[in-house]
Amino acid sequence: MQLLRCTLVLVFLTCGVGTVAGQADLLIKNGQIVDGSGNPSYMGNITIHRGRIISVGLLEPAAKQVIDARGLVVAPGFIDVHTHAENVSKMPGATNFVRMGITTLVLGNCGGSKSDLGKFFKELEDRLITPNVASLIGHNSVRSRAMGGSFMRPPTDEELDEMKSTVDQAMKDGAVGLSTGLIYLPGTFANTEELIELAKVASKHGGIYVSHMRNEGDDIGEALEELMRIAREAKLPAHVSHIKASGQRNWGRSIETLKALALGRLEGLELTQDQYLYPASSTGIQNSIPQSYREGGLSKLKERLDDPETKAKIVKRMKDRLEKRGIADYEYAAIASWRRDRRLDGLRLPAAAKIRRGSDSLDDQLELIFEIARSGGASGVFYSQSEEDIRRFQQDPHTMFASDSSIRTYRLGVPHPRGYGNSARALSEYVRTHQLLSIEEAVRRMTSLPARQFRLKDRGMIRSGAWADLVVFDPASVKDNATFEQPHQYASGMRYVLVNGGVVVENDRHTGSRPGKIVRRGK
């Protein structure tokens, strides 16, 4: 078979395909090839022409460009299945992603997406982008479009039909599936039956159901049951976003969570999950306010905060929630980015309240949260997970590694470091330093596993005919440099990153090239 493949490639090159007779576009030679399958690596060369891999093996055909990968690993480009990179339309270079080896971004997570994906995809194709982009259709966006501001009720039959129609059109436009964000508005008010009906539409097109579940702490068991019920009744694969056991009282529950997922697989359900490799999460500070008081949007929340009786109820609910969790205050939460007062970026809430209000009391922390919410919100970082749970989730072979990040504006705020380092951290911290994963397995989690589950055709593997999304990195020096204190530090050790055969990173520098494509489901 190897001889036949080599013969075919020699014939291909001899025929003079390309702008220069007898030459391929690019040859990567002498690399340690980790092909994405999880199988042992091997030494070899990779030939690329017109954006695709045309040979893998020992051939060294003539090429217009040659990369000598001696001492380096050559792997498929990493696929980040959980991003919030809708801002790629404004920041098409996606530098923080490609600098850590990510070549394909999956947008539309946590229920939030563009509601007209066909239009959005066309805009990106016209704009030209560096990474490839795929997208889910987000339930929150679909629900808002159909129901306006009336969130705290089931949809009417007409509204549900409109929602189903929007999902159907998005799937026809190439969405890879349906996402939900069930702690966010308005999705938190949707019942399971509504989600099943919409998931059935995605299922009809071969899509996946991806969920930021209703609970990741005390009630994670019930949340998993809901996800599996949706998978079962809608007959489609289901995927848990940023799996975790949140809150100190829940540390260790990774064991029962993984057991529940394993039982679901034994039942015949197709279940996977992703995680970011850090002990803190990130969401809006304003989400600390109970959802029912945020229903109806910012104007309604302001009305409730302006009413002394309602505000007192909100304060009591929030204090009761802290007490239930065994937490004295909001020391576990930090402000990542707040436009109104940049002095507070990076500070824990007690310290921020001390600066902003002159006191770090719990009441003043709550007042700061209310002020942030009134201003439209601020991103935050929440320290709520254990390293033991992170490692246990990581050891499960169905776990992908994903950043849960947007495209970063360099040096703006103090955001979560995962947006600069997540995939590099998998290789440096957990492969090289702690040796918890083989390099082949870590690469599989970021390449062929996501490509298979999200139906990204001809991605995630190094093989003849696949798109030439590749990363060439130094296994001895690849590193995530971003920290919680100093997050704006790019990953290092990624010598070359290729997207569809175009070099987008060379020696840890973005080249400015924009060869990215829209990756539609199954195409």
Asked if residue 186 has a cis previous peptide bond (ω within 30° of 0), the answer is yes
pLDDT for res 14:
33
Q: Contact 29/67 with Cβ under 8 angstroms?
A: yes
* Cα angle 200, 206, 210; round to 5: 70
Q: Which residues of the chain have pLDDT under 50?
A: 1-21
Q: Kindly state the tokens that stand for 407.
A: 């495209």
Q: Kindly state the tokens that stand for 488.
A: 């704006």
What CA–CA distance (Å, rounded) separates 379 from 280? 13
Half-sphere exposure of 179 (CA within 13 A, CB side): 31
Label the pairing between strands 271-275 and 238-240. Answer: parallel
What CA–CA distance (Å, rounded) separates 392 from 330? 27
Q: Kindly state the tokens that stand for 435.
A: 């040796």
DSSP SS3 for 444: helix
Q: Domains in the chain, start-ordered, CATH in brackets?
A: 78-279+385-416 (3.20.20.140), 283-383 (no CATH)
What CA–CA distance (Å, rounded) separates 483 from 176? 32
Give the H or E element holding residue 42.
Answer: strand 42-49
DSSP character string of 248-280: GGGTTTHHHHHHHHHHHHHHT--EEEEE-SSSE
What CA–CA distance (Å, rounded) separates 292 from 299? 14
- The β-bridge partners of 104 are 79, 132
- pTM of the shown model: 0.94
